Structure 1
Amino acid sequence: MNTEHISASSSGGTAGCDLATARHVVAASFLGWMLDACDFFIVLFTLDNVAESFAVPLSTVLLAPTLTLLTRPIGAFLCGRAADKYGRKPVLIWTIMIYSVIEVSSAFAPTIGVFLALRTLFGVALGGEWGVGTSLIMESVPSSWKGMSSGILQAGYPAGYLLASLMFLLLPAFGWRGLFILGGSAVISALYIWWRVPESPDWLARQKAGSREVAPGLWSVIRGNTALCVFAVALMASFNFMSHGSQDLYPKLFLALERKITPDHVTLIVVLYNIGAIAGGIFFGFLSQKIGRQYAIATAAFLVLPLLPLWTLPHSSVWLTIGAICMQFCIQGAWGVVPAYLSELSPASVRATFPGVAYQFGNLIAASNALLQHGIASSLGVGLALPLMLVVGAAALSVLTLTLLNAKLHPMERV
């Protein structure tokens, strides 16, 4: 792996903005990612309602999140390249505005075909937001803020899940189309960025220094940093298997169907473990500032392993709730370090592109999680407890191994 890129990247944005402005950058980036995630989860909460509205099988509507997932890497690349060339702020604003418009447009889709086409386009904007927001926040805040800021940014994802679950309570009053219209309120965060958030000082400094040369293409970046790219995608695939493995089938198929927990109690468990996820992301993000990114990730991933039995084996809803909260605290705790870690690994010229593309390609690889876990259960003739533990445990072990191996081969300075 190219250690020159690592050290150069980690020094980016050291000075940052003044503290008042940095707070606005953190808040705006968090809001953008939270509302982006919320708009995505609204679809998952209303799948059966959408299917009924269009008089199509549920399997047809399930194509919506799949198509969104498939186009996320495209968005990460296109928006990232645009942000590396034209600046983080304008691209982030346009990305948020586009996904807000698409979300509202989805509410007025006349046919299932139009709806699926809009969700495909939504995936492009969804994939672009995270990488651009990550580069903006990591290049704008002081070095001493980076760990905490990373955790706050990544906490936007479970916060978006929570917001979507609360919005779902409005379904009887507004219907699924009304929820999609409400999802368009994400445009408020774009206005906030336009009003209170400046351009990345690191990006501006490179422009002022005359570095307006054409940014290297994706393939030239890969050729020059092959080991780094392979490592990043493998790590993010492991991360995504760890998070999707703990979330995709857990609430409805495991808690509700296998453990026979009531829907209201399942909802409570989901709310509580997402609160744990938010707390974990912020805690381990802060911890990474003290012990280093790699060791904070490794610590969180290691703690996942002894929690596996508590998370799946009890039949008591109380113990399952405790296990789920602890599990998401650690899994999303590891995730809380990811924005800072990938940003500091990234070559400076592609800092808006590299983290997002690595994240989304890893997510694409992990798209098979639900089928994998269900397939293990079917082939072994067992319930979901064992497949859940196997996939999440293997993913956590992979995150732990890859991170410690990279820490051994390429130590990073604490910033």
Structure 2
Amino acid sequence: MSTTPPSQALPDGTETGIGDRSASPADGPFGWLRALGPQGRRAFAGAFGGYALDSYDYFTLPLSMVALAAYFGLDSGQTGLFTTVTLVVSAVGGAAAGVIADRIGRVRALLITVTTYAVFTVACGFAPNYETLLVFRALQGLGFGGEWAVGAILVAEYARPRDRGRTLGAIQSSWAVGWGLAVVVYTLVFEFLDDDLAWRVMFWTGALPALLVVWVRRRVQDAPEAAARRRENPQKGNFAAIFRPGTADSPGLLRTTLFAGLLSTGVQGGYYTLATWVPTYLKSERGLSVVGTGGYLTFLISGAFAGYLTGGYLTDRLGRKRNILLFAVLSAAGILTYANIPSGADTLLLILGFPLGFCMSAIFSGFGSFLSELYPTAVRGTGQGFTYNTGRAVGAVFPTLVGFLADSWGVGGALVFGAVGYALAALSLLGLPETRGKELK
């Protein structure tokens, strides 16, 4: 007699599938990876590489910010606008990519997003003036906005429910890989080239994703069962569906969309405040050299990588909401501590970079699984793409405020707005259900 526990129905009619695939022989530390199967592992590699290079192309600008400001004669408000424009336009790109992923498939949408962000990152290196660079950076945001949501859904539909969190957490860790690669290249380029040329070379190296596009096109495909369900559903990619209020017969998705958008806004407002301004803070207010800044960022990025992997494990153990709440509190405390380290305590600044990077990244580990589980297959890309990237766009207000207040408050003092973002994320959890163990049907 089978001892596999039965599936349990959720309020929206889907099943948790408890035990459906949990008895797989693919157990152990990397059981989650073996359980994906050959096709799933190729999808994992494609999404991992796409997000790593997405990160790399994003960080070409924050790392070059000081050189750009000097070259074009920009103030803090104008440099902060680069991030705002990128993230605002990413909301459009993310929403569009989500709809495209539901209508033509996850892999095709992934190819479109990677190609878009690569082309316009390279174009930034040829910008003759501030206005042109701003436009190219905005267009880069179209691809940047869509890649994560599409890649996360692609892998989520291959993963078994019991370890979907750690699987998607591993995908999230690729952001730290791309960030670290960008810092290494930045350190070398700015050490050996004049700043006026170095920032252009940084953008030109953004052509790397072209190699990934060729491989993904040949080797990766959508999860067959999910793809079949998506194709058969006449509501696939229906943007209006994610704003439909609940009725007596159907719970609707409006409430989910509103609170998931608020969650994304808070977490990304806090994250991008740090990602955008910490390099400038270290160089302009702490007086570190290019090599010194790279050393401090190494601790921050190492903590981020460890945080993504640990957070992925905890989101399966504690649940999606508890993991997010835990690290929202710790991230807010970390920002306030980091920004108020007294002058001269550079060793403490170095050491605290690791836990700060750990906490601000661990909170992201549950996002891929949580947002995927909040929406049904037919509009999974649409819902996840819209909420995640709308959060990016609204959260872009935070680094912009830091930019405009940096001249009077100092960059360190203005970083407090990152902590406000994490407080919003914690509040948003009141309106969202726990989805750990949910089968994607």
Q: Per-residue CA shift, 1:333-364, capped at 9, x if unaligned?
A: 01111111111112321111211211111111
Compute the displacement of 1:90 (Å).
1.3
1:15-414 → structure 2 map (5 Å cutoff) = 18-47=36-65, 49=67, 56-58=72-74, 64-109=82-127, 114-168=132-186, 169-171=188-190, 172-173=192-193, 175-207=198-230, 210-211=232-233, 213-215=234-236, 217-224=238-245, 225-253=253-281, 255-308=282-335, 310-315=337-342, 316-373=345-402, 385=412, 387-388=414-415, 390-403=416-429, 405-406=430-431, 410-414=433-437
2: CA distance between counterparts of 1:375 and 1:122? 23
Call closer, same or farther: CA 1:413–1:159 in 2, change over 3 Å. Answer: closer
Which consecutive unaligned segments of at least 5 residues does structure 2 have? 1-9, 22-31, 246-252
1: CA distance between counterparts of 2:391 and 2:15? 21
1: CA distance between counterparts of 2:41 and 2:237? 32
1: CA distance between counterparts of 2:80 and 2:399? 13
Which shifted more, 339-348 or 78-87?
339-348
1: CA distance between counterparts of 2:180 and 2:288? 20
Hey, what does 2:14 align to over in structure 1?
Answer: 8
Call closer, same or farther: CA 1:358–1:383 in 2, change over 3 Å. Answer: same
Call closer, same or farther: CA 1:304–1:108 in 2, change over 3 Å. Answer: closer
1: CA distance between counterparts of 2:405 and 2:135? 32
**Structure ranking higher in helix proportion:** 1
2: CA distance between counterparts of 1:383 and 1:58? 16
Are the counterparts in 2 of residues 106 and 180 from structure 1 also a CA contact under 8 Å? Answer: yes
Call closer, same or farther: CA 1:87–1:67 in 2, change over 3 Å. Answer: same
Q: What letter corresponds to residue 351 of structure 1 in structure 2? A: R
Compute the displacement of 1:181 (Å).
3.0
1: CA distance between counterparts of 2:405 and 2:84? 21
Compute the displacement of 1:152 (Å).
1.7
> RMSD across aligned C-alpha pairs, in angstroms?
3.1
2: CA distance between counterparts of 1:9 and 1:40? 38
Are the counterparts in 2 of residues 312 and 320 from structure 1 also a CA contact under 8 Å? Answer: no
- When the two structures are superposed, what TM-score results if normalisation uses the length of structure 2? 0.80
Call closer, same or farther: CA 1:383–1:86 in 2, change over 3 Å. Answer: closer
Tell me the secondary structure at the aligned position of residue 343 of structure 1.
helix
2: CA distance between counterparts of 1:9 and 1:68? 38
Q: Per-residue CA shift, 1:47-93, capped at 9, x if unaligned?
A: 4555777xx43356765444322211111121111110111011111
Q: What letter corresponds to residue 364 of structure 1 in structure 2? A: A
Tell me the secondary structure at the aligned position of residue 157 of structure 2.
helix
Call closer, same or farther: CA 1:357–1:9 in 2, change over 3 Å. Answer: farther
2: CA distance between counterparts of 1:370 and 1:110? 25
Call closer, same or farther: CA 1:238–1:65 in 2, change over 3 Å. Answer: closer
2: CA distance between counterparts of 1:182 and 1:257? 25
State the percentage of identical aligned residues: 24
Q: How many residues align?
A: 400
Compute the displacement of 1:387 (Å).
4.2
Compute the displacement of 1:94 (Å).
2.3
Tell me the secondary structure at the aligned position of residue 381 of structure 2.
coil
2: CA distance between counterparts of 1:353 and 1:11? 24
Tell me the secondary structure at the aligned position of residue 181 of structure 1.
helix
- When the two structures are superposed, what TM-score results if normalisation uses the length of structure 1? 0.85
Call closer, same or farther: CA 1:150–1:106 in 2, change over 3 Å. Answer: same
Are the counterparts in 1 of residues 80 and 404 from structure 2 also a CA contact under 8 Å? Answer: no
Q: What letter corresponds to residue 288 of structure 1 in structure 2? A: T
Q: Per-residue CA shift, 1:260-284, capped at 9, x if unaligned?
A: 4555333211121111011101101
Call closer, same or farther: CA 1:317–1:28 in 2, change over 3 Å. Answer: same
Compute the displacement of 1:214 (Å).
4.6
Are the counterparts in 2 of residues 290 and 414 from structure 1 also a CA contact under 8 Å? Answer: no
